[in-house]
Amino acid sequence: MIQTVVSAGLPVGENLMIQKKRMMGKQTEGPGSFGRISIVTGIHGDELEGQYVCYELARRLEEASEQLYGIVDIYPALNPLGMDTRHRAIPQFEMDMNRIFPGNRDGAVMERVAASVVEDLIGSDVCIDVHSSNAFNREVTQVRISQDFKERLLPFAKLLNTEMIWLNATETVHESTLAHSMNMLGVPTLVVEMGLGAAINMDYGNRIVDGILNLMREMGLWKGAVGQIRQPAVVLDSAIQFIRAQKEGIFLPSISHEARVEKGEVLGRIVDVLHTSVQEEITAPCDGMVFTLREYPMVYEGALLMRILMEQGEESGQSCT
């Protein structure tokens, strides 16, 4: 069943409409009780990995609908105008939609839209907010959790079949994100990050669909098949090494995404095309796995080139020297 969450006229004459697909299964344990999971995506209009996750999850649930218990709500496009025009932000307002939550019923139009989304999500037992990096950097599958909600969210996060769980990633700490707002309101909300903006990696998407079904099975919402589930590395900021460009130019990596690298290994170069020169050679500061890799080749000083998950850095907070 397709439902309209909010419909709002915009000053430019366009109409912003957010819709969801509600899938109803059998009643869960307890009289009159229906467990509920919500999947949201498309807050950032240039992130499309969640489109495949929503499609494939619904497809698998429909294929074996007799195995479904409770309610699954799928919100594929929280920023539909951004998605239509490949805009990260909300096009007419040039505002990041993930900075206006929990919204305000009496505020400006986008604040009212945000408030409607939050009201609609309240009542979910778990919410998953699927992101896909941006157009510049490729990411492995990961859940990002703020330390504030670690106790509550970590058990759910471990079920989601990701490569890693990043505790306290700064992106998730911002107070006006959807995830932070929902967690403050008592709805456990997990941020999944993966892949690359403006692209779809179906392998990653399938892993996350398996993970969501695994979580649903634990919640008693799904009795059907679940694929092989991996154990994620749980890491703190201190186990992650950021590598930034020191020079501007064209970045030519010599390793691939998800590569295991050794300290001192050459990871890539930044070259000056006009002068045919190597401006910078990037070497690994430690052993580890390249979980973030720059895909957009133009770089400037300070641009993020890679993030390395340090070997044996998991939860120990070991520093990289």
Residues that bind Zn ion (CB under 5 A): 44, 47, 131
Cβ closest to Zn ion, residue 183 vs residue 214: 183
Q: How far is the CB of 44 from Zn ion (least distance, A)?
A: 4
Q: How far is the CB of 248 from Zn ion (least distance, A)?
A: 26
Burial of 210 (0-12, 13-18, 19+ CB in 10 A): buried
Q: How far is the CB of 284 from Zn ion (least distance, A)?
A: 28
Q: Rounded to a whole number, what is the distance in angstroms from the first to the last CA of the chain?
A: 55
Q: How far is the CB of 132 from Zn ion (least distance, A)?
A: 7
Of the candidates 8, 258, 215, the one whose C-alpha atom is nearest the C-alpha of residue 108 is: 8
Of the candidates 175, 137, 167, the one whose C-alpha atom is nearest the C-alpha of residue 234 is: 167
Cβ closest to Zn ion, residue 44 vs residue 180: 44
Cβ closest to Zn ion, residue 135 vs residue 320: 135
For Zn ion, the nearest residue by Cβ is 131
Cα gap 313→321, rounded to integer Å = 12
Cβ closest to Zn ion, residue 67 vs residue 132: 132
Cβ closest to Zn ion, residue 181 vs residue 214: 181
3-state secondary structure of 103: coil
DSSP for 23-44, please give it. Answer: EE-B--SSTT---EEEEEE-SS
Cα gap 166→180, rounded to integer Å = 15
Q: How far is the CB of 131 from Zn ion (least distance, A)?
A: 3
Cα gap 69→62, rounded to integer Å = 12
Q: How far is the CB of 87 from Zn ion (least distance, A)?
A: 12
Cβ closest to Zn ion, residue 40 vs residue 164: 40
